[in-house]
Amino acid sequence: MDLRGRVIPAYQLDEPIDYPIKRLPAVTWRCQRCGQLPTRGPCTCGKRCYYCRHCLVFGKLRTCDYLVTDPRPLEPVQADHHAELNLTVDQQRIARAIVKTIDQKKRLLVHAVCGAGKTPMLFPGIERALCTQKRVLITTPRADVVRELTVHVKGAFRQTTIVSLFGGSADRLQLGDITISTTHQLIHYRACFDVVFIDEVDAFPYHADRTLHRYVRQAMRTGASLILLSATPSLRNKLLPTVRLMRRYHGFPLPVPRLQIPYTETDVLDWLATHSTKPRLVFVPKVDDLKVWQDVFRQHQLKSETVHAADPDRITKVGQFRQTTGILLTTTILERGVTLVDVQVAVLDADQAFSVAALIQISGRVGRSADFPEGEVVFFANDRSDAMYQAIHQIKQANREGFR
């Protein structure tokens, strides 16, 4: 196993290695893997060791353990050029800003609306990085987004090594010229990326978990470029130098959600019937609500599937939904990173537990395709909430700015 750029517990070495390794204390006054404060307790070594409870999912670390790494320099990056692109004038402007940020080793926020076509705007910057011997990381909090990005990036860059990292990935602990990873998987990497893109930087859990920010910082080399991408950036991220794109690549405006206050089961069933020839994505605030609404639909001879974060068949169900005009009940796990052609969206109990960012991202699922640039988003609620009105206000504001 080649450990250059990575650190793992010594006991996780599953094969002999034929080069010198560097050993580091695993737990001192802090866990040297995740940076959290350890806890003291009985240990198999016979002493009362400190151990880390915060990163147990990656293997237990104790005071008597060591982290191991390969101190040799990384292999050179293989240069590659992206496939032909057809960017709009606005997308070209953003792409030039990204290339300039990489050349100057600086930081940048790309504030672009849902469906603006952020992914192809990265490709000129990735090409510049590869051709100047810089290793690229594209990271995001959601595994579904990693899978979607991997398809696009592999289609654009055919010659270079591309690694995709998420829970259960076959590429575990590997390192590519381009690495596409969830932020959690970066716990294993140290000072090995020269250019870092963070997609969906406002997504849960990254925006609320400072430990994940630490993982990203650890993975960056000194002087690395950092480009953040978001449709709903936080006030903190807006302090960075920013470029904005408030218009979708196909030139149509963002769908503005319609409010239905109050609502009944009949209102939801009527909406489903109105769009019976199209795929319908129905969001609910809690996992427990999935079965409740599925039973309601079943009573009216409407077949539906459900997906949530812990569903082991989630990928298969979403793939099947792409090929149908059915109904998919979901939690906010599908609020971003998924493109569905001609989908219509309803949010049930939109006044409960949905943030402004979530409602904007959910609305952004509609009208993303140039062939079907329009569609309907409905917020069903029994009360008014600031989040609903702010989401609608921000979508309208983006449309006004995009069509000046």
The pTM score is 0.92
Domains along the chain with CATH numbers: 8-69 (no CATH), 89-245 (3.40.50.300), 258-312+321-402 (3.40.50.300)
Quick one: CA dihedral 33, 38, 39, 44, positive or negative? Answer: positive
Q: Is the distance from CB of 38 to CB of 31 less than 8 angstroms?
A: yes
Strand partners, 66: 25
- Written as tens digits, the pLDDT of the chain (404 aa) is 688 999 999 988 877 787 888 999 999 999 999 999 999 988 888 788 999 999 998 989 999 999 999 999 999 999 999 999 999 999 999 999 999 999 999 999 999 999 999 999 999 999 999 999 999 999 999 888 999 999 999 999 999 999 999 988 999 889 999 999 999 999 999 999 999 999 989 888 888 888 999 999 999 999 999 999 999 998 889 999 999 999 999 999 999 999 999 999 999 999 999 999 999 999 999 999 999 999 999 999 999 999 998 898 998 999 999 999 999 999 999 998 788 999 999 999 999 989 999 999 999 999 999 999 999 999 999 999 999 999 999 999 999 998 87
Q: Tell me how far apart the alpha carbons of residues 218 and 69 are, in angstroms, rounded to a whole number.
A: 14
Scan for tokens 């987004």, then name that residue: 145
Sequence-separated (6 or more) residues with CB below 8 Å from residue 354:
283, 285, 332, 347, 362, 385, 387, 388
CB 107 within 8 A of CB 241: yes
Handedness of CA 163, 167, 169, 174 (dihedral sign): positive
- Here the tokens at position 313 are 């068949």
Q: Cα-Cα-Cα-Cα dihedral of 49, 50, 54, 58, to 10°?
A: -40
